[in-house]
Amino acid sequence: MVWHSTGARTVWFFDLDNTLHDAGTAVFPGMNAAMTDYIREHLGVPREQADAMRVHYWHRYGSTLLGLMRHHRVKAAHFLHETHRFPDLEQRVRGHAHDIHRLRRLPGLRLLLTNAPGHYARRVLRALRIEDCFDAVIPIEDMTMFGHLRPKPDGRLFRHLPVRLGVSPRRCVLVEDTLEHQKAAHAAGWRTVWMQRWMKVGLPRGKPAARHLHRRPPYVDRRLRSLGAL
């Protein structure tokens, strides 16, 4: 993949799941089940243990795949193919018209930066009819340095991308829902936008989950419920 120098333009890096579409409803339940089934079948452990391993590796490494690669020699390509099939994906993907309209008008270089595999990411973009909104797609298999995967929230990824593009980190803006990724991007000098449209809302403000949504951590520059506010 060849990326050209962007000069003084802003470089927008958009996450995919729960940033551009409602993955929490359409995808994540099936994806979690598929990952648990993969661990159960290929490592030969009971379902309850497989599910605990999936969650543990996700919390520890930012990606279940990285934990499986490090501790069980799982092949990335095989895992990503088997856990991201979703035969009825196109019928379930749901975005928001106002977000898509703003995305099309946003000036600067627009890149998709997702820890999902490329075949899945492009299916979602086609289903949302926004493939043409992005100058490039950077899926997890392209987040490599010296032969090793370095997906979000690896700080080395956030330091490498501006260098590869030939821009200052301050011209890079990460738009996504996951705070750990925002924290790593901020530490690398990026600007950060916390997208909350597809996160749980409407909870009483006294609940811990609601307090989490209504406060803005110091490493988040803006907190939005709509891309229209960019």
Structure tokens at 139: 């899926």
- The CATH number linked to 69 is 1.10.150.450
Same domain, 81 and 119: no
Letter for the amino acid at 184? A
Residue at 220 is within a domain: yes
Residue 221 DSSP one-character state: S
Residue at 2 is within a domain: no
Per-residue pLDDT band at 198 (split at 50, 70, 90): confident
Q: What CA–CA distances, in Å, run from 198 to 20, 96, 157?
A: 8, 10, 25
Per-residue pLDDT band at 212 (split at 50, 70, 90): low
Residue 17 DSSP one-character state: B
| pLDDT score, position 230 | 86
Same domain, 100 and 176: yes
CA dihedral 115, 120, 126, 128 (to 10 degrees): -60
What is the C-alpha to C-alpha distance for residues 181 and 195, in angstroms, rounded to an integer?
12
Residue at 126 is within a domain: yes
Average pLDDT over residues 5-23: 87
Residue at 204 is within a domain: yes
Residue at 56 is within a domain: yes
Residue at 160 is within a domain: yes
Q: Is the pLDDT of residue 43 over 60?
A: yes
Same domain, 105 and 204: yes
Average pLDDT over residues 8-32: 92
| pLDDT score, position 175 | 97
**pLDDT tens digit sequence for 85-135:** 999 999 999 999 999 999 999 999 999 999 999 999 999 999 999 999 999
| pLDDT score, position 224 | 92
Query: How far is residue 217 CA from its own chain's centroid?
Result: 19
Structure tokens at 190: 């990026």
**Among residues 67, 85, 103, which one ends one of the domains?**
85
Residue at 3 is within a domain: no
Count of domains in the chain? 2
pTM of the model: 0.89
Same domain, 121 and 59: no
What is the C-alpha to C-alpha distance for residues 90 and 93, in angstroms, rounded to an integer?
6
| pLDDT score, position 9 | 85
Same domain, 126 and 190: yes
Same domain, 188 and 129: yes
User: What is the extent of the structural domain holding 50?
Assistant: 28-85
Same domain, 49 and 71: yes
Q: Is the pLDDT of residue 68 over 90?
A: yes
| pLDDT score, position 78 | 96
